[in-house]
Amino acid sequence: MEEKRKTERNASGVRLWLGFALLFAALLGFAFWNIVAGSTALSVSEVFDGLLHANSAHRVIVMDVRMVRILPAILLGGALALSGFLLQTFFNNPIAGPFILGISSGAKLVLSVTMIGFLSRGIAVGSVTLIVASFVGAMLSMAFVLAISYRVKRMSMLIICGVMIGYICSAITEFVIRFADDSNIVKLHDWAMGSFANIQWDNVIVIAAVVLPALVITFLLSKPIGAYQLGETYAQNMGVNIKAFRIALILLSGVLSACVTAFAGPISFVGVAVPHLMRRLFKTAKPIVMIPACFLGGAVFCLFCDLIARTAFAPNELSISSVTAVFGAPIVILVMLRRQKEGGR
């Protein structure tokens, strides 16, 4: 018995290291592939030349075309998956996520109103303004979803309401964009579909400044998150200050998904698919593993999807959201079917 237990524990330890090794390898692999591939294909030596030498002939394409897109894909992909994981914990619902619950769409709505308002007056929109507007939108949708979640206890109803909120917000966004100046429309339209294409270096710095601290804070909350997975009653008895904890969870997931929407537009299904894949990969739901795993997994997932978005039909580019939907939506259906089989709600 003791022996068996020991081998089982060792097995889970090995799984842990292998899992993270795999994620890191995939991250580096896809990042590198993303640098190499594109309308101007680069060789390996050209890539290193561009990365290491400031005055290299390949500097511009490596750094200002490829890297400026890869880094946000990593950071925002991780942020999305993490946000999804937090929302799933909060609602105790495996298919909750910022896109499905309409939070991304709410952010999109307030963001487009703000952008049109600024642009029509000829004021440039800064990174911080983008994030703040997006956060306000995310919080407004979140407030709706929360209000609904107090009334409906069935998880399917919550999801349906979230999807409806998403549709309403998208419809109003369409409507608002109609009234924008012609010059704004093109850019807004691109962004409203979801894309990593329009991000600048100064945006990347702001993204890192928001996402990385949020990641650290989330990781430090892994203990109460673990307690919360047992349900509120037990979490409180374990010594978690439920009220403060719930607020922290809402703010963190809101900030993360708002940051994504602000710079890359709404990106679908990453928040649901990645945490699910990570649970399967690591065979655990422990936050202390899941939080870094979701972040890395989200980064890998978005790098992969962006690679397809850029190269599959080059020179035409797909919206990132349609690629993530193709890979993410089946996973969501799978999760729901599994729940059904297990006799879940």
Point out which residues bind other proteins (CB under 8 A).
1, 4-5, 8, 92, 94, 220, 222-223, 226-227, 229-231, 233-234, 236-241, 279, 283-286, 288, 342
Q: 84 to each of 13, 16, 125, 191, how far by Cα in Å?
A: 25, 21, 28, 21
Nearer to other proteins among residue 276 and residue 310 (C-beta): 276
Q: Rounded to the nearest whole angstrom, what is the least distance from the CB of residue 142 to other proteins in the complex?
A: 23
Alpha-carbon gap, residue 325 to 197, rounded angstroms:
18
The angle subtended at Cα 320 by Cα 258 and Cα 84, nearest 5°, is 40
Q: 77 to each of 7, 117, 178, 196, 269, how far by Cα in Å?
A: 35, 28, 30, 10, 11
Classify the C-alpha dihedral 239-98-257-111 as positive or negative: negative
Pure H helices in 44-126: 44-52, 59, 68-91, 103-120
Report which residue type is found at 274.
Answer: V
The angle subtended at Cα 279 by Cα 26 and Cα 72, nearest 5°, is 45
Tell me the Ramachandran region of residue 11: left when phi exceeds 0, alpha when psi lies from -120 to 50, beta otherwise: alpha
Q: Rounded to the nearest whole angstrom, what is the least distance from the CB of residue 241 to other proteins in the complex?
A: 6
Got the DSSP string for 207-256?
Answer: HHHHHHHHHHHHHHTHHHHHHHTT-HHHHHHTT--HHHHHHHHHHHHHHH
Nearer to other proteins among residue 25 and residue 244 (C-beta): 244
Q: Rounded to the nearest whole angstrom, what is the least distance from the CB of residue 159 to other proteins in the complex?
A: 17
Nearer to other proteins among residue 59 and residue 246 (C-beta): 246
Q: Rounded to the nearest whole angstrom, what is the least distance from the CB of residue 330 to other proteins in the complex?
A: 21
Q: Rounded to the nearest whole angstrom, what is the least distance from the CB of residue 239 to other proteins in the complex?
A: 4
Nearer to other proteins among residue 230 and residue 337 (C-beta): 230
Alpha-carbon gap, residue 126 to 203, rounded angstroms:
9
Q: Rounded to the nearest whole angstrom, what is the least distance from the CB of residue 242 to other proteins in the complex?
A: 8
Q: Rounded to the nearest whole angstrom, what is the least distance from the CB of residue 240 to other proteins in the complex?
A: 7
Q: Rounded to the nearest whole angstrom, what is the least distance from the CB of residue 188 to other proteins in the complex?
A: 40
Nearer to other proteins among residue 72 and residue 297 (C-beta): 297
Classify the C-alpha dihedral 130-132-136-138 as positive or negative: positive
Alpha-carbon gap, residue 113 to 172, rounded angstroms:
10
